[in-house]
Amino acid sequence: MQTIKDQYQHISTILSFSLIPLSGFATDIYIPSLPSMASHLQASSSAVQFTLVLFMISAGLSQLFVGSLLDSFGRFRLGMVSLAAFTVASVAIALSHSIYMIYAMRIIQGVSVAIIVVGKRAYFVDRFSGDTLKNYTSLFSIIWATAPIVAPFIGGYLQSSFGWASNFYFLGLLTLIIGLLELKYGGESLRNFQPFRFRPIIEVYRSMLKTTDFTLALVIISLCYAMLLVFGMSSPFIIEHVLHYSPVVAGYCSLLSGVALMTGGIISKSLIRKSLTKKIVIAVALQLGFALSMIVAAGYSTSLYTMMPFVLAIHLVSGFIFNNLFSYCLGRFSKNAGIASGITGGLMYVMASFFSYGLVGLVDIKSQATLGIAYLSLVMLIGIFFILFYRARFVFNYPATESA
């Protein structure tokens, strides 16, 4: 079996970091192309938006289980097969004229990405320890957050210059190059293979999901992430069709949205010692005010300049809430941190997909006002679930984590 050579350790580490934001790139890069895809495929806006949902659900569900497979069968071989599958699926989408073929390929991409990303996170635990490991893992969220910032920006220019298919050719070429580099410089990082035991794994999952405060916090971060997805699904149609801007402008707007989300996360880290309850209550109140103001402002004027400031403010606060409760979920089960991470990341993807696609289907989001109504609905749900979360922690005396 191919193992990582010492002289290639640095290169292998860089390659591992480069694959961590792949899931974000696979969703965000073609957001500016959604209207063009709908026109070319002669499909409805909801039909092409569903390609995002299928990817998120397949990637989310797969993350729940691939960790055990990677512990039993190794990282390298499964990772190489997944890179090859993702590359082939990307090219197949670019060449396809059928929305149903694209659906199938997006599912393959979702499963492949789950194996790749979970395996690369595990790589750092396999190869490093102590302060070095802490230093590397502290970069995960920052690197992951580059995808919603950079990908729509690249996608907007690709769409304007070469059309929607170029986004998927880009993804296929990217993973092909990284796969070839992995073949030369990478290798198996797992030292101790574990037997695959299905029943004990399921029992751990069951006990975690029965813990009320954990599951409620998971629902809240899913609603926060759903805000970003709702904007991603609807904004290209509003910006390009209603406000008559180019896909490049739509890409810039998505870039700013990602920056706002990251900024909210950075602010939350600076306030980590403050009371969790007070922080979230203030944050939800601010979001509620921004959403209502966005709806009221739409009655007087609707433009990119009246819509985007409210979007950025809402996304910034969403990033703040998300980072606080994501940390809470990861720290809730210190003895099973790996499985808790898989459940948190996986179910967040699945639930956020259902929330966002369900809301886009329920509210025909074609304007600033309807986008504001969608945000308001999500904020109200966050408030309701946080009240339940508060009761679960303090009324039923669930223990708090260090971050809370």
The token pair that represents 384 in the structure block = 């309701």
pLDDT the model gives residue 71: 78
The token pair that represents 178 in the structure block = 């990284």
Q: Kindly report the CA angle at 284 between 226 and 208, in degrees rounded to 5? A: 60
Element containing residue 87 per DSSP (H, E):
helix 76-95
Residues in the chain: 404
CATH annotation of 197-397: 1.20.1250.20
The span from the CA of 37 to the CA of 42, in Å, is 8
The answer to whether the beta carbons of residues 400 and 332 sit under 8 Å apart is no
The span from the CA of 31 to the CA of 37, in Å, is 10
pLDDT tens for the 404 residues of the chain, in order: 667 777 778 899 999 989 989 998 999 899 899 999 999 999 998 899 999 999 999 998 888 878 778 877 888 999 999 999 999 999 999 999 999 999 999 999 999 999 998 888 888 878 887 777 767 765 776 787 788 888 988 999 999 999 999 999 999 999 999 999 999 998 888 777 767 666 766 777 788 888 889 999 999 999 999 998 899 889 998 999 899 999 989 888 988 988 898 888 888 878 877 888 999 999 999 999 999 999 999 998 889 999 999 999 999 999 899 888 887 886 777 555 556 767 887 888 889 988 998 898 888 888 999 999 999 999 999 999 999 999 888 765 555 443 34
| Two domains, one topology: 1-189 and 197-397 | yes
pLDDT the model gives residue 339: 67
pLDDT the model gives residue 395: 62
pLDDT the model gives residue 221: 93
Report the candidate in 2, 106, 14 with the shortest Cα–Cα distance to residue 53.
Answer: 106
pLDDT the model gives residue 302: 84
Backbone angles phi, psi at 188, to 5 degrees: -75, 125
pLDDT the model gives residue 397: 53
The span from the CA of 328 to the CA of 403, in Å, is 6
pLDDT the model gives residue 1: 61
User: Who contacts 203 (Cβ-Cβ below 8 Å, separation ≥6)?
Assistant: none
Query: Maximum distance among all alpha carbons in the chain?
Result: 66
Give the Å distances, CA to CA, from 24 to 28, 30, 71, 91, 294: 6, 11, 24, 18, 27
The token pair that represents 274 in the structure block = 């403050």
pLDDT the model gives residue 403: 39
| Domain spans in the chain, listed from the N-terminal domain onward | 1-189, 197-397
Report the candidate in 252, 40, 20 with the shortest Cα–Cα distance to residue 147.
Answer: 20
The token pair that represents 287 in the structure block = 């979001």
The span from the CA of 6 to the CA of 189, in Å, is 12
What pTM did the predictor assign? 0.79
- 1-189 folds as Growth Hormone; Chain: A; (1.20.1250)
